Structure 1
Amino acid sequence: MALVEDVFTGDISSITTIPETALGNGIIYMKADGVISGIKVAEEVFKQVDANLEIKLKATDGTHVKKGQAVIEITGSLRSILTGERVALNFLQRMSGIATKTHLMVTLIQDYPCTVVDTRKTTPLLRILEKQAVRDGGGKNHRFGLYDAVMIKDNHIKAAGGIMNAVQSARKQIPHTMKIEVEVENLQQVEEAIESKCDIIMLDNMDVNMMEAAVKRIAGKAIVEASGGVNENNIVEIANTGVNYISLGSLTHSIESLDISLDLYEKKVII
């Protein structure tokens, strides 16, 4: 779909300026340090453009790469290489940006028994790739969609008439293998969530003092997740409260793509 969006009826620039028989190779290389993600996705882009291209992967998803390092070499039709260039780089840059940001957050709290997870705040239709990038960066995935876990948020609580009503109603209708998570905003709701016997309690946009009080009150009766307003400046303080998981929408919705480029060479070169 991405290739159809970009190429549609043909790469006019390449078709009109490059002889059909022209061969060469291109090197995709890093213009910044980071954690690479999307190598296999970029490879698939070039395969779909031209199955005759020779593709050599010089890095593995989830590994640290340095500025100037080559990560993919493509040999074959120059037209085909340029046709696939932008789509491949778009996937590679965005996924690597996510992986790099995730790695930073994971590293900051590596001394705490706490796990960094993502959210559903992903680019439409790219969730599976963006969640892969989170894993490549050392984080874990929260639920993939609305279908794989019960997550009772503020509007569900309002519509159901309270936390207890919502949890009891859900428990009656789901298999015993499915977990129920409840989002809470204050200590009164924490008490209600504990009483409901839900599996996970999410502390939403609480300050650190309230989080500490909530974790102490929950005391292992449920898994505790912190969410809302988490960034590199406060994630350590949040991890120190004793929560089990920290979820960050910013891993996918407010990401800076990693700088990656492609250069063509008339003759095959190895970097």
Structure 2
Amino acid sequence: MLRSVNIGALALEAGGGLPSVTVAYECWGTLDEDGSNAVLIQHALTGSTHVSRGDSEEDGWWEGLVGPGEVIDTDRYFVVAANMLGGCYGTTGPSSIAEDGAPYGSRFPFVTIRDSVHAEARLADALGVTSWHAVIGGSMGGARALEWAVTYPERVRRCAVVAACAASTAEQIAFAQAQVLAIRQDPHFAGGDYYDGAAPTLGLGLARRIAHITYRSEAEMGARFGRFAQPGEDPLGHARLRPAAVGGAGRYQVEGYLDHQAQK
């Protein structure tokens, strides 16, 4: 079940701050009296707090790894997953209502991984967690896990960083720029103030396609998809010129995969 706590005002690493921040989170299991069995799981950029099914009907994104009797055993550990600062799953972000009664939108300040970790530290305080048995995360979640170990070493007894690095490379920054521009150049983006109109879904879908190309190696793409056609479609036919929204005719399998990820 999604829960939230208000942690008050938060000063930001790049300057400025937020007058009031709400942190959304989910938790599983029971915290020991001494607060020693807590595990923090950090989601990736587009992920959410819903790591495991728990008492809901929806599978979590780490189902099979987190739960009763699983590797991260919720019968043994108190597991917490928080939505990152600036996220869209309950924690204060651009869609949140500012003090003037309108969504922050383009006015939302620049936030960093460190800002999110500072917010999570206040969440830990509110939950009574003095130190984490482990902080675990993948991709951007791995960066947050690493930041926890660097910024609050006395509060992290174990740290697992998966598919993440300490700093972005030039190539990563370049791919990120292409993704950001794909979203910003969608006519519906409206400079970031689109909350009373259509969302920039086409730009977001294009950004997601670019992202998924970077997540997989050329060799893995070739082994998985090769040059095979999407079932029932002919990549050499004129139908390939039709946009996927019309029916997705004429695609290669890898194109169908990217369209699926964009739609998700």
Q: TM-score range by the shorter chain?
A: under 0.3
Counting helix residues as a fraction of each chain, which structure ranks higher?
1
